[in-house]
């Protein structure tokens, strides 16, 4: 009886030892094949000195007519009776031009959405990309996420990132309404963009 117990114990010990070494081997294999991160020098990505760019253009939000560039896509039951249109979501692909006139030279678009997210005073949640089409900026984007109290003379929203020329971008934009047609809701907004990027 005592002998049998001893035999069982030694069997358990050798099994445990086997699993212990197996785990060590597995952990080492993991280290070499399953790592998914590494340190990288910014130079390897061609990142040199961070610079600050200032861009200036006009944004045309056309909500009326056949050629509207901003469309109402969702709302709450209570949106139409809310003084601030709380719950309304609009998707836009608004032209950006160098002068306030819609016919002036186009430099890109503002693509994304805005939502009425304030119950006291008009405050939009803006989530959109500036998509540039001009010169060296062609194909590059800046991503904006922020609060836009549209009836304030000056609004500020953060730049949360970018692509192309604007990789690693951060900064802010300032928006000033130039003109609103209160009958149609169409608006022209002056945008100053201050972006740090490489």
Under the binding rule (CB under 6 A), the answer on residue 36 touching ligand NAG is: yes
Applying the rule CB under 6 A, the residues between 53 and 72 that interact with ligand NAG are 65-67
Q: What is the three-state SS of 15-43?
A: HHHHHHHHHHHHHHHHHHHCCCCCCCCHH
Under the binding rule (CB under 6 A), the answer on residue 183 touching ligand NAG is: no
Return the range that interacts with ligand NAG (CB under 6 A); candidates 11-19, 31-39, 118-126, 171-179. Answer: 31-39
Under the binding rule (CB under 6 A), the answer on residue 34 touching ligand NAG is: no
Instruction: Give the tokens for residue 68.
Output: 């509207």
Least CB distance from residue 26 to ligand NAG, whole Å? 16
Under the binding rule (CB under 6 A), the answer on residue 120 touching ligand NAG is: no
The β-bridge partners of 35 are: none
For every residue of 94-138, DSSP letters joined together read: EEEESSSSTTSPEEEEEEEEEEE--SSS--EEEEEEEEE-SGGGT
For CA atoms 26, 29, 33, 38, give the dihedral sign.
positive
C-beta closer to ligand NAG: residue 115 or 157? 115
CA distance 122 to 86: 8
C-beta closer to ligand NAG: residue 104 or 138? 138
C-beta closer to ligand NAG: residue 46 or 65? 65
C-beta closer to ligand NAG: residue 51 or 66? 66
Under the binding rule (CB under 6 A), the answer on residue 80 touching ligand NAG is: yes
CA distance between the termini of the chain: 77
Least CB distance from residue 56 to ligand NAG, whole Å? 18
């Amino acid at each position: 009886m005592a002998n049998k117990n001893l035999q069982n114990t030694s069997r358990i010990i050798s099994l445990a030892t086997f699993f212990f070494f197996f785990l060590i081997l597995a952990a080492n294999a993991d280290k070499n094949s399953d790592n998914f991160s590494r340190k990288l020098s910014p130079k390897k990505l061609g990142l040199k000195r961070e610079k600050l760019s200032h861009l200036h253009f006009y944004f045309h939000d056309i909500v009326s007519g056949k050629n509207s560039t901003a469309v109402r896509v969702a709302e709450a039951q209570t949106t139409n009776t809310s003084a601030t249109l709380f719950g309304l979501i609009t998707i836009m692909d608004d032209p950006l031009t160098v002068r306030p006139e819609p016919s002036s030279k186009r430099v890109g678009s503002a693509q994304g959405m805005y939502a009425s997210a304030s119950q006291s005073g008009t405050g939009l949640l803006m989530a959109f990309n500036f998509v540039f089409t001009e010169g060296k900026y062609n194909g590059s984007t800046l991503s904006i996420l922020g609060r836009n109290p549209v009836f304030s003379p000056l609004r500020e929203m953060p730049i949360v990132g970018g692509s192309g020329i604007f990789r690693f971008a951060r900064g802010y934009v300032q928006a000033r309404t130039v003109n609103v047609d209160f009958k149609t809701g169409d608006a022209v907004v002056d945008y100053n963009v201050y972006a740090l990027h490489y």
